[in-house]
Amino acid sequence: MNKDPKLVIILLGPPGVGKGTQAMKISKELKLPHISTGDILRANIKENTELGKKAKSIIEAGNLVSDDLINDMVFDRVKKQDCEKGYILDGYPRTTAQANTFLEEAKVNTKILVINFFAENETVVSRICGRLVCKGCSAVFHQEFNPPKADGVCDHCGGTLYQRPDDQKETVMNRLEVYKKNTQPLIELFTQKNLLKTINCEQSPQEVFNETLALIR
Ligand code: AMP
C-alpha cells in the first residue's frame, strides 16, 4: 500500500527575513519538526564537537560551511523518526549543490514546497541588528519590534537571550552578499521546477504566518 507523501517545506530567504520565527509557528501548527541548520551548527559549537570546531570561525565570519558537511548533517537529521510525515527546513539548502543533492535524495514519495520569503535589504538589516535569540529554545525576539516581557529573558522557556556574534553589522553585510551570490540563484532553480511560492515579508509576522498557512493548505 502506498504511504501518503512526506511534506517537506523549505523556507528560503535572506538572513533576518523571519524564517526562524515563521518556522517555529508553522512547526507548532502542523506538528512537523523544525530543522534549522544554523541551530544545529550552533549547538555543535556549544558542545565543542568536531563539526562545531570546524564550523565556528566560518559562521562567525558570516561565510558558508562546506556543502558536504551540511548535507551529511541534514540527511542524518531527516532520517530520524519524527521526520516520517515531513519536516520544515530553515536555512537549507543554501547553495545550488545543496539543492540538487537534496532534490535527488528526496525524490521518492515526497511533496516539496519552497516558500520564498522576500523583504527589502534595509528591512532585513534592521531586523537582524536588533535580534535577540534564546540560548535555551532558540526563540527569536527583537529589541524594538518584538521585545521580551522581561529584559534578557525568553518569554517561552525563561532562557537567557543573547545577540548572535554573526548578527553584528559588519558580518551581516557579508552574510547578505553571501546570500545574494550563493542562495538567491535557488529562487530561479525552484521556480523552474514549479516548487516555489513567494511571500512578501514586509508585513507583520502574523500576516506572514496567515499567508504562509494559506499557501501550505
Ligand atoms: P542561520 O542561523 O540560518 O542564519 O545560519 C547561521 C550560519 O550557519 C550561516 O551564516 C552559515 O555560516 C551556517 N549555515 C547554516 N546553514 C547553512 C547551509 N545550509 N550551508 C552552509 N552554511 C550554513
pLDDT digits (tens, 9 = 90+) for 36-94: 999 999 999 999 999 999 999 999 999 999 999 999 999 999 999 999 999 999 999 99
Count CB atoms within 10 A of the CB of residue 64: 19
The answer to whether residue 19 is catalytic is yes
User: How high is the mean pLDDT of the chain?
Assistant: 95
Q: Kindly give the pairing relationship between strand 161-162 and strand 196-200.
A: unpaired
Q: Could you tell me the distance, in angstroms and rounded to a whole number, from the CA of residue 216 to the centre of ligand 1?
A: 25
- The pick from 94, 117, 182 for probing ligand 1's pocket by mutation, whose C-beta has the most ligand atoms within 8 angstroms, reads 94
Residue 3's pLDDT is: 78
Count CB atoms within 10 A of the CB of residue 156: 13
Instruction: Tell me which of 6, 19, 42, 127 is the catalytic residue.
Output: 19
The answer to whether residue 175 is catalytic is yes
Q: What is the pTM of this model?
A: 0.94
Query: How many CA atoms lie within 13 Å of 146's alpha carbon, on the beta-carbon side?
Result: 19
Residue owning the nearest CA to atom 11 of ligand 1: 64
